[in-house]
């Protein structure tokens, strides 16, 4: 029998419905797995068993009465430590935030979790102020990949992805302003979706502006669709939040037959590890086998890394502008460097980068008039040594060429597991759709999941 922590959210809900399992015993099993394995992985920065078990007991009573509270009643979920959580500190991996202050608010997505009866398991680690594509911080140290603890899980939602991969709860909330749910999903072999910007309300507003998305990180595509249905919706605190979706995401058909699918192995400018390239090409072939009309074609834009870095580094400078010189001296050294660089940009520099961003969005809008989806690698390399920003020096943007362009365009983009390298490290296929086509992206990923299921494969550490 599958161990309780390895069950998906949809499987848990089915077991609650029949009385086969109780939210209390499931929560206890997840907490036990965290106790056993997280000292090596360091996915969590806050775990409060009494908090979790109180929510689980309340859920069990609702199920006993036949009155579940919502779509996620009793399902364990973790929350990235950049999302406000009422009554619990949100320290964002930084020593500069006072944990003893009042914490009166839930972020919109966290509030929706409570409304739908989810069981909060804890807060997951992030690099300081979520600034880079790996997960280590001055406050919480290095987070490690369950597939190989000597390697990084990626970031900045690396704690969330490591937790889901290791069976420390089937659902997690992450954020993505340059790849931060998709990078770690690819490195740890889970599913993640960066929805269309505004699809999940975000408060307080990110200092990285409209690059930043909240997104689900899950063990299965079906679970991500379920989580989307729970957390999407309008919140007046987010001036850019979209209206609720017209139809639920759960219950999608999982059909790509007849879709016009573009496959770009390099986006026209990226270098890709041969093993990763082969795994992604095989995944693309599966789409053709499922009836999609696949064509190898690049979208036709140059690498926008310089413009992205203007937007990103300026946002980082905004994050720390209120800090004293003494506090700045204690920041992650790489963060301190990009903040200094970001503070030197002019308003004209920022507006020039914004204009390039708008042109990129126009180009991709035109591209999707001809193609329903775009497939690329999620990451060009497998996970590398933990505790480093980059495998060979330089900024994290140097090894993430497939992710940040689609934060600039605000399109939905998902990472789907597509196999393991010879060293046993996961690879990810990125599925990108036009703005507002979140359901189409999920549907295509569901079709691939059913054709090439990965759910029975856990990292050796916990398997």
User: Which residues are marked as active site?
Assistant: 80, 156, 180
How far apart CA 77 and CA 376 sit, in angstroms, is 29
DSSP 99-159: TTS------HHHHHHHHTT-EEEEEE--SGGG-SSS-EETTTEE--BTTBTTB---SSSHH
Going by C-alpha positions, the residue among 230, 441, 401, 210 that lies closest to residue 301 is 401
Contact 77, 110 (CB under 8 A): no
Going by C-alpha positions, the residue among 48, 74, 454, 187 that lies closest to residue 463 is 454
Going by C-alpha positions, the residue among 373, 357, 215, 359 that lies closest to residue 292 is 373
Please work out, in degrees rounded to the nearest 5, the angle formed at the alpha carbon of residue 198 by the alpha carbons of 195 and 203: 115
- For residue 117 the two structure tokens come to 């009866």
- Name residue 432's beta-bridge partners: 374, 413
Going by C-alpha positions, the residue among 441, 375, 450, 456 that lies closest to residue 224 is 441
- Name residue 414's beta-bridge partners: 193, 431
Number of H helices, E strands in the chain: 14, 13
Q: How do beta strands 119-124 and 76-80 pair?
A: parallel
Task: Identify the sign of the CA torsion 289, 294, 296, 301.
Answer: negative
How far apart CA 254 and CA 223 sit, in angstroms, is 14
């Amino acid at each position: 029998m599958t161990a309780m922590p390895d069950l998906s959210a949809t499987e848990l809900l089915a077991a609650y419905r029949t009385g086969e399992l109780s939210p209390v015993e499931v929560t206890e099993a997840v907490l036990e797995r965290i106790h056993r394995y997280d000292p090596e992985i360091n996915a969590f920065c806050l775990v409060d068993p009494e908090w979790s078990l109180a929510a689980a007991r309340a859920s069990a009573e609702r199920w006993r009465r036949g009155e579940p509270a919502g779509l996620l009643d009793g399902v364990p979920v973790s929350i990235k430590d950049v999302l406000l959580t009422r009554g619990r500190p949100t320290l964002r991996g930084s020593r500069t935030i006072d944990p003893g202050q009042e914490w009166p608010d839930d972020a919109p997505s966290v509030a929706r979790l409570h409304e739908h009866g989810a069981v909060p398991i804890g807060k997951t680690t992030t690099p300081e102020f979520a600034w880079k594509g790996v997960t280590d911080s001055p406050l919480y140290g290095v987070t490690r990949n369950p597939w190989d603890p000597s390697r990084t899980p990626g970031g900045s939602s690396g704690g969330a992805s490591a937790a889901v991969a290791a069976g420390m709860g089937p659902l997690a909330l992450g954020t993505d302003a340059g790849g931060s749910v998709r990078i770690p999903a690819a490195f740890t072999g889970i599913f993640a979706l960066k929805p269309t910007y505004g699809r999940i309300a975000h408060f307080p507003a990110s200092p990285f502006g409209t690059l930043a998305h909240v997104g689900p990180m899950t063990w299965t595509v079906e679970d991500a669709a379920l989580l989307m249905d729970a957390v999407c919706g309008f919140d007046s605190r987010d001036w850019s939040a979209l209206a609720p979706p017209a139809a639920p995401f759960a219950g999608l058909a999982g059909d790509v037959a007849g879709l016009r699918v573009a496959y770009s192995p390099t986006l026209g400018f990226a270098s890709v590890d041969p093993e990763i390239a082969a795994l992604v090409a095989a995944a693309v072939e599966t789409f053709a086998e499922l009836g999609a009309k696949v064509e190898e074609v690049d979208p036709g834009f140059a690498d926008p890394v310089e413009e992205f870095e203007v937007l990103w580094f300026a946002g980082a400078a905004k994050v720390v502008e209120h800090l004293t010189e003494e506090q700045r001296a204690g920041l992650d050294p790489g963060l301190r460097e990009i903040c200094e660089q970001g503070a030197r940009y002019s308003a004209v520099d920022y507006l020039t980068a914004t204009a390039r961003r708008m042109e990129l969005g126009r180009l991709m809008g035109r591209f999707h008039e001809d193609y329903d989806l775009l497939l690329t690698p999620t990451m060009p390399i497998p996970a590398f040594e933990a505790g480093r920003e980059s495998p060979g020096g330089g900024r994290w943007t140097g090894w993430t060429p497939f992710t940040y362009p689609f934060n600039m365009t605000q399109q939905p983009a998902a990472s789907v597991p597509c196999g393991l390298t010879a060293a046993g490290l996961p690879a990810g296929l990125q599925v990108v759709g036009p703005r507002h086509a979140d359901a189409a992206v999920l549907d295509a990923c569901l079709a691939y999941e059913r054709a090439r299921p990965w759910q029975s494969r856990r990292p050796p550490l916990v398997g």
